[in-house]
């Protein structure tokens, strides 16, 4: 059974940091790309960042470039999203997802598996 479990969300003041984790089971990091998406109330789901298999390539959305960093620990089957200099507009539910391709994927429709999400709230 494929599972993606997010953790690390919470409440933080503007300018603060959080590190989200996505622990994966049921498929190999060698074959899958992992992406982070977010959805704020009343808004469409937005791609935040993604990492190709074995961490060979990464992509970060312009809206978070320079503040968010994606990384992976293949030994732990875990992908991290380090979020620094957080802003109130970063408030959303953050989801990780897996796509059965080795390269970075931006479109949400290309992802096969999704986690349940973790809430990130940034207060002003």
Q: What is the pLDDT of residues 60-119, one digit of tens each?
A: 999 999 999 999 998 999 999 999 999 999 999 999 999 998 888 989 999 999 999 999
Nearest partner of 115 among 88, 87, 95, judged by Cα: 95
Region for 47 from its dihedrals, namely left if φ exceeds 0, alpha if ψ lies in -120 to 50, beta otherwise: beta
The Cα 13–Cα 49 span in angstroms is 22
Identify the three-state secondary structure at position 44. Answer: coil
For 68, the 3-state DSSP assignment is: strand
Q: Is pLDDT above 80 for 29? A: no
Over pLDDT 90: what percentage of the chain?
A: 85
| φ, ψ of residue 61 in degrees (nearest 5) | -65, 150
Looking at residue 30, what is its pLDDT?
79
The predicted pLDDT at position 54 comes to 81
Report residue 121 as tokens: 């709230």
* 56 has a pLDDT exceeding 90: no
- DSSP code at position 102: S
């Amino acid at each position: 059974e494929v599972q993606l479990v997010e953790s690390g969300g919470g409440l933080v003041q503007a300018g603060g940091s959080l590190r989200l984790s996505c622990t994966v089971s049921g498929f190999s990091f060698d074959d899958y790309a992992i992406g982070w998406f977010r959805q704020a109330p009343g808004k469409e789901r937005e791609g935040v960042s993604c990492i190709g298999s074995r961490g060979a390539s990464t992509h970060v959305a312009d809206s978070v470039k320079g503040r968010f960093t994606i990384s992976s620990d293949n030994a732990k089957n875990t992908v991290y999203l380090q979020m620094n200099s957080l802003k109130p507009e970063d408030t959303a539910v953050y989801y990780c997802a897996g796509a059965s391709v080795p390269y970075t994927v931006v479109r949400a429709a290309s992802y096969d598996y999704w986690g349940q999400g973790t809430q990130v709230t940034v207060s002003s």
